[in-house]
Amino acid sequence: MASTTRTQPRQPQAAQPASPQAEPEQSPASAAEPQSDKKPPVYSWSQPTGSGRIEIAVWEKTVSTDNGDKVVYHVTCQRSYRRQQNGGFENTGTFWPSDLLALAHGLEFVFDRIRDLQAGEPF
């Protein structure tokens, strides 16, 4: 089953019309997002599936080491789905077998983006 997805960068830029493409949604962090104590992810990826939407986020943290400060990245994965009782959305860390290929593809894609971040290359 093929699904159409779209790429949507979160970098500040002129609004572009959303057009379906062959890649899942992916987003670098945006300066236009509301500022709060909690930092937004530096990169996110999402893909709709039959059971909801798979979402993967890359988070950045600066840690102090003996050799100075170092930026490290960690990843969170979740599945969003609509509740049947009230129609609202919920998130879970559990995945159905039908979600696993999309999750594996997303993790591979995010792995490549983390390598780009570590190399200092833009998206």
Tokens in use for 45?
A: 């990826």
Q: What is the pLDDT of residues 79-108, one digit of tens each?
A: 999 888 888 899 999 999 999 999 999 999
Give the domain ranges of the chain: 39-119
CB burial of 3-32 (b: ≥16 within 10 Å; e: otherwise) equals eebebeebeeeeeeeeeeeeebbbbbbeee
Question: DSSP secondary-structure letter at 80?
Answer: E
Q: Is the pTM of this model over 0.85?
A: no
Distance CA 73, CA 13 (A): 25
**In this predicted model, what pLDDT tens digit does every residue of 14-67 receive, in sequence order?**
333 444 344 556 655 544 444 567 889 999 999 999 889 999 999 999 999 898
Name residue 50's beta-bridge partners.
none
Specify the pLDDT at position 109. Answer: 95
